[in-house]
């Protein structure tokens, strides 16, 4: 009898221990993201900081290898009932996931879990891209950027300049002077799908011109492309003339050196790239490289408008349990802390997405430090004006495919010497076909 009693007591003790352990185990959630390389390491570090900051939750962060894969894998997993709690979706995929219905609006998630968020704290040039037409935040801005002009200060000094070009007319003269001074690559560039946004979408925004009708698609799925009209056509002509004269040089993995690497090596003297590359260039620049950044040039007589935000936002995926959503809300709240904005901006080059985060970085004299000086220009560019109908963002279905068609048009111009207007018109026609297929897929759906 005593043996049976002891066994029963032991069993109860073991059950109690297991129950306590089960209660103490952190709630695990998955976060899928698209970054790779150095940025992937930084995301993993961010996840580790959250996990070490508390014991209730554990976020498991997994790179999907690319933005495309992150979105496609998330939607496929949702349909199979194996979705992550949080997924990173690029700016170009915003409309696709908005219309998928596979998400839990982040503004509702945070309120439902007791977090008070000042959504007006987000910079308007950032929030407008990811918000609905009513200003509701369905996702949380995360790794965000805009395009800047990077310039080699020593090279420009040799042509008598102490600043980067503010206008494209000035830039043309600078590129010519740099070439005549013996520099083989005054402007390095790439026209691949993933790189055309600096030269096309950003150009149109700062010049206040539309990429598409209906307010870049915000007004409905029946929008049509408009990039083949206006100042961008003249810009492509100018750009091609620089290329023909040897002032602009195509740099890509296929040529053996990317334009960013070429700048960091001192082989190209000017590039247009994301502020997100600022940290990488600083770490990889050849010894003694003296460089800086400037806002994107505009044509003379242009009233500059705010540039567009690039990068991605975080979407909370539908179909998870309440405790997983508590974990997701806690993680997103952690990412929004000003101190985390400082760490994130330090190791990546991405900008703080909130005014409070920017103010905190300024209070820490972040932008006074040599490695980070100039990054504040990204904020200045994004907030140059309040967002207009054509600078608040884009709501275009199949935007990645559209970027590919624009890339194809530019390749015809630069590589095959095709007519500029005809090639852009053809790219617009192909892009409109993409929009019509997307419209048919979501026939009858209203944009949020």
Q: Write out pLDDT tens, residues 203-235.
A: 999 999 999 999 999 999 999 999 999 999 999
What is the C-alpha radius of gyration for the chain, rounded to an integer number of angstroms? Answer: 24
Query: Do residues 279 and 369 lie in contact, with contact meaning Cβ atoms separated by under 8 Å?
Result: no
Confidence of residue 12 (pLDDT cuts 50, 70, 90): low
Query: Do residues 35 and 274 lie in contact, with contact meaning Cβ atoms separated by under 8 Å?
Result: no
Confidence of residue 347 (pLDDT cuts 50, 70, 90): confident
Confidence of residue 24 (pLDDT cuts 50, 70, 90): low
Distances (CA, A) of 270 to 26, 183, 256, 260, 328: 49, 11, 18, 10, 41
Cα 381 to Cα 115: distance, rounded to the nearest angstrom: 30
pLDDT of residue 131: 86
Cα 445 to Cα 54: distance, rounded to the nearest angstrom: 42
Query: Do residues 237 and 181 lie in contact, with contact meaning Cβ atoms separated by under 8 Å?
Result: no
Backbone torsion region of residue 360, taken as left when φ is above 0, otherwise alpha when ψ lies between -120 and 50, otherwise beta? alpha
- Average the pLDDT over 188-202 and give the result: 94
Q: Is residue 172 scored above 90 in pLDDT?
A: yes
**Segment (H or E) for 59:** strand 57-63
Query: Could you report how far apart the first and last alpha carbons of the chain are, in Å?
Result: 70
pLDDT of residue 447: 83
- Average the pLDDT over 101-129 and give the result: 92
Q: How many other CB atoms are there within 10 angstroms of residue 173's CB atom?
A: 14
Q: How many other CB atoms are there within 10 angstroms of residue 420's CB atom?
A: 20
- Average the pLDDT over 343-357 and give the result: 89
Q: What are phi and psi of 392, to 5 degrees?
A: -80, -15
Cα 217 to Cα 210: distance, rounded to the nearest angstrom: 10
Write a three-state SS string for 373-413: CCCHHHHHHHCCCCCCCCCCCCCCCCHHHHHHHHHHHHHHH
* List of E strands, 202-323: 248-250, 270-274, 291-294, 310-317
Cα 242 to Cα 151: distance, rounded to the nearest angstrom: 17
Query: Do residues 415 and 244 lie in contact, with contact meaning Cβ atoms separated by under 8 Å?
Result: no
Q: Is residue 11 scored above 80 in pLDDT?
A: no
Confidence of residue 134 (pLDDT cuts 50, 70, 90): confident
Question: Which of 336, 309, 347 has the alpha carbon at shortest distance from 44?
Answer: 347
Q: Is residue 69 scored above 80 in pLDDT?
A: yes
Q: Lowest mean pLDDT: which of 154-168, 262-276, 358-372?
A: 358-372
Distances (CA, A) of 77 to 61, 72, 398: 16, 9, 20
The number of CA neighbours under 13 Å toward the Cβ of 371 is 13
pLDDT of residue 23: 56
Q: Lowest mean pLDDT: which of 69-78, 177-186, 221-230, 343-352?
A: 343-352
Q: Which residues contact 329 (CB under 8 A, 6 or more apart)?
A: 109, 110, 112, 113, 115
Give the angle subtended at the CA of 288 by the CAs of 284 and 294, to the nearest 5°.
Answer: 75
Give the angle subtended at the CA of 317 by the CAs of 316 and 322, to the nearest 5°.
Answer: 85
Q: How many other CB atoms are there within 10 angstroms of residue 411's CB atom?
A: 15
Backbone torsion region of residue 266, taken as left when φ is above 0, otherwise alpha when ψ lies between -120 and 50, otherwise beta? left
Higher pLDDT, 7 or 385: 385
Confidence of residue 2 (pLDDT cuts 50, 70, 90): very low
Q: Is residue 391 scored above 90 in pLDDT?
A: yes
In the chain, the domains with their CATH numbers are 23-145+310-368 (3.40.190.10), 147-308+392-441 (3.40.190.10)
Percent of the chain with pLDDT over 70: 95
Q: What is the chain's length?
A: 448
Q: Which residues contact 39 (CB under 8 A, 6 or more apart)?
A: 143, 276, 348
Confidence of residue 5 (pLDDT cuts 50, 70, 90): very low
- Average the pLDDT over 147-169 and give the result: 97
Cα 224 to Cα 429: distance, rounded to the nearest angstrom: 9
Provide the mean pLDDT of the chain: 92
Question: Which of 390, 400, 382 has the alpha carbon at shortest distance from 95?
Answer: 400
Global pTM value:
0.89
Confidence of residue 349 (pLDDT cuts 50, 70, 90): confident
pLDDT of residue 21: 46
The two most distant CA atoms of the chain are separated, in Å, by 102
Give tens-digit pLDDT for 45-68. 999 999 999 999 999 999 999 998
Give tens-digit pLDDT for 268-311. 999 999 998 998 899 899 999 999 999 999 999 999 999 999 88
């Amino acid at each position: 009898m005593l043996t049976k009693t002891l066994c029963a007591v032991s069993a109860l003790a073991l059950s109690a221990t297991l129950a306590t352990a089960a209660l103490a185990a952190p709630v695990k959630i998955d976060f899928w993201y698209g970054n790779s390389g150095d940025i992937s390491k930084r995301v993993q570090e961010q996840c580790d900081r959250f996990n070490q900051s508390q014991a209730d939750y554990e976020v498991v962060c997994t790179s999907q290898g690319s933005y495309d894969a992150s979105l496609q894998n998330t939607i496929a997993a949702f349909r199979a009932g194996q979705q992550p709690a949080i997924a990173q979706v690029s700016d170009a995929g915003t409309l696709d996931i908005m219309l998928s219905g596979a998400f839990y609006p982040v503004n509702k998630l945070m309120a439902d879990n007791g977090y008070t968020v000042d959504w007006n704290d987000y910079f308007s040039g950032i929030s407008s891209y990811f918000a609905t037409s009513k200003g509701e935040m369905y996702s949380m801005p995360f790794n965000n950027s805009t395009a800047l002009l990077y310039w080699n200060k020593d090279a420009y000094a040799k042509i008598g300049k102490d600043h980067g070009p503010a206008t494209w007319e000035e830039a043309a003269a600078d590129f010519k002077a740099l070439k005549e001074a013996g520099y083989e690559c005054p402007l390095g560039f790439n026209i691949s799908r993933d790189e055309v946004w600096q030269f096309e979408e950003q150009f149109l925004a700062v010049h206040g011109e539309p990429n598409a009708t209906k307010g870049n698609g915000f007004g409905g799925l029946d929008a049509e492309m408009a990039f083949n009209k206006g100042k961008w056509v003249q810009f492509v002509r100018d750009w091609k003339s620089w290329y023909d004269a040897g002032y602009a040089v195509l740099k890509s993995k296929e040529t053996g050196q990317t334009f960013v690497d070429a700048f960091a090596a001192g082989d190209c003297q000017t590039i247009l790239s994301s502020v997100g590359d600022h940290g990488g260039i600083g770490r990889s620049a050849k010894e003694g490289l003296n460089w800086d950044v400037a806002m994107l040039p505009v044509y003379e007589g242009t009233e500059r408008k705010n540039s567009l935000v690039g990068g991605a936002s975080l979407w909370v995926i539908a179909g998870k349990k309440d405790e997983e959503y508590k974990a997701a809300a806690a993680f997103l709240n952690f990412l929004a802390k000003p101190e985390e904005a400082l760490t994130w901006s330090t190791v990546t080059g991405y900008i703080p997405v909130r005014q409070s985060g920017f103010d905190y970085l300024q209070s820490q004299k972040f932008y006074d430090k040599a490695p980070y000086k100039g990054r504040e220009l990204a904020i200045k560019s994004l907030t140059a004006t309040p967002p207009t109908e054509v600078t608040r963002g884009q709501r275009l279905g199949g935007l990645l495919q559209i970027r590919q068609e624009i890339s194809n048009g530019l390749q015809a111009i630069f590589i095959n010497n095709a007519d500029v207007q005809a090639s852009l018109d053809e790219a617009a026609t192909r892009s409109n076909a993409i929009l019509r297929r997307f419209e048919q897929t979501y026939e009858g759906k209203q944009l949020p």
